[in-house]
């Protein structure tokens, strides 16, 4: 780990990130933010095909990094760069998603990058658990999806559709009326987003430790429109290793006629908490960052490793954490400091 007093080696990646961070900090005023965010993340001749994704230059980790620098926590700020400098998905939740989707995709277009968006507003979201909420009914959800699509427009984006929605449907935690309409609503959302000229869609399929009946899962994904999407997503907000996830994903892909998929590697550097305990998925200690986002996966079926869950955002009010989705700086620091493979 380089200390502030040392001079780091200026690799192409380091130079690119240094320029991006300098531009972002220089453009910190509210008036300048939308334009400068795109400029700050602009493409660089040293960027290869394995790094196509947009990074939010003034997101929560970057702001936290600045606060720690101001308070003299320079070593912690440097550690947090392992999170703040990586592309992470932007979650569209309740409220009107159109302005946020438009701003993110607009900034990414200026940067010649692809933003990853998460559509997360299905009725009866999270079966009343830590991330409960969602649209009030099917009609409200259709209107919400239409607004999200309008925000994306003809710009490029990857959309991860409704984390946990199908896996929770498979566990029978939904009210009967919500269960009956859920897969159809997802299929409608796939069609709405895929009608856009530059949008790729990946339907969430849970994780390698959740639904063991993959035939049932494949059937549900088909009813949810995965054949019209670009594939499915695995390990969102979870911790299963990339190796275990690829084994699970390849089997599921075979049941879907060779469907492609993406993997959330944001926090899977040490795998899941073992032995498994109650709520072992919720802010488990001793975890580590996984493979940084890239489209160079070495697998013809895996389109990308992506950071869908932002490392440092809480999974829920367990283990002394803030509510789901809230920034938890010390947990982020633990993730950034951890050495993968050493839980």
Please list, residue by residue across 143-172, b when 16 or more beta carbons sit within 10 angstroms of its beta carbon and e when fewer do.
Answer: ebbebbbebbbebbbbbbbbbbbbbbbbee
Q: How far apart are CA 178 and CA 168, in angstroms?
A: 11
Q: How far apart are CA 82 and CA 86, in angstroms?
A: 7
Of the listed 204, 264, 315, 334, which one is catalytic? 315
Q: How far apart are CA 288 and CA 304, in angstroms?
A: 19
Instruction: For residue 315, indicate whether it is catalytic.
Output: yes
Q: Which of 17, 1, 22 lies closest to 85, judged by CA?
A: 17
Instruction: For residue 126, indicate whether it is catalytic.
Output: yes
Of the listed 76, 126, 230, 264, which one is catalytic? 126
Q: How far apart are CA 85 and CA 55, in angstroms?
A: 7
Of the listed 164, 204, 230, 303, which one is catalytic? 164
Rounded to 5 degrees, what are φ and ψ at 127?
50, 40
* 8 A C-beta contact, residue 281 and residue 311: no
Instruction: For residue 44, indicate whether it is catalytic.
Output: no
Rounded to 5 degrees, what are φ and ψ at 101?
-60, -40
Sheet with 231-234, strands from edge to edge, namely 90-92, 116-119, 157-161, 199-204, 231-234, 261-264, 302-306
Count Cα atoms within 13 angstroms, Cβ side, for 326. 11
CB atoms within 10 A of CB 257: 10
Q: Which residues are catalytic?
A: 126, 164, 315
């Amino acid at each position: 780990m380089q200390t502030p007093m040392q001079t780091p080696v200026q690799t192409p990646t380091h130079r690119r990130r240094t320029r991006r961070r300098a531009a972002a900090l220089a453009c910190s005023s509210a008036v300048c933010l939308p334009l400068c965010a795109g400029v700050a993340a602009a493409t660089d001749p040293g960027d290869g095909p394995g790094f196509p994704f947009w990074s939010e230059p003034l997101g929560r980790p970057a702001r936290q990094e600045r606060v720690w620098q101001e308070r003299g926590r320079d070593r912690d700020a440097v550690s947090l760069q392992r999170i703040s400098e990586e592309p992470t998905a932007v979650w569209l939740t309740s409220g009107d998603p159109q302005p946020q989707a438009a701003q993110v995709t607009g900034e990414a277009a200026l940067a010649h990058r692809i933003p990853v968006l998460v559509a997360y507003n299905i009725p009866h979201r999270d079966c009343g658990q830590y991330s409960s909420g969602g649209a009030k009914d099917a009609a409200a959800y259709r209107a919400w999806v239409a607004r999200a699509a309008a925000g994306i427009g003809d710009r490029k984006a990857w959309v991860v559709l409704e984390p946990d929605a199908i896996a929770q449907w498979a566990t029978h935690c939904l009210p009967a009326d919500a269960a009956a309409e859920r897969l159809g609503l997802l299929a409608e959302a796939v069609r709405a987003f895929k009608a856009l000229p530059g949008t790729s869609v990946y339907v969430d399929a849970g994780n390698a430790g959740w639904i063991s009946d993959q035939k049932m899962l494949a059937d549900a994904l088909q009813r949810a429109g995965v054949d019209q999407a670009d594939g499915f997503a695995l390990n969102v907000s979870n911790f299963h290793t990339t190796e275990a996830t690829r084994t699970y994903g390849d089997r599921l892909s075979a049941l879907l006629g060779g469907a492609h998929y993406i993997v959330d590697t944001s926090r899977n550097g040490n795998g899941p908490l073992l032995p498994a305990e109650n709520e072992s998925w919720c802010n488990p200690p001793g975890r580590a960052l996984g493979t940084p986002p890239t489209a160079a996966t070495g697998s013809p079926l895996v389109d990308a490793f992506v950071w869908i869950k932002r490392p440092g955002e809480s999974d829920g009010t367990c283990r002394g954490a803030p509510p789901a989705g809230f920034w938890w700086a010390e947990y982020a620091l633990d993730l950034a400091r951890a050495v993968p493979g050493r839980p």
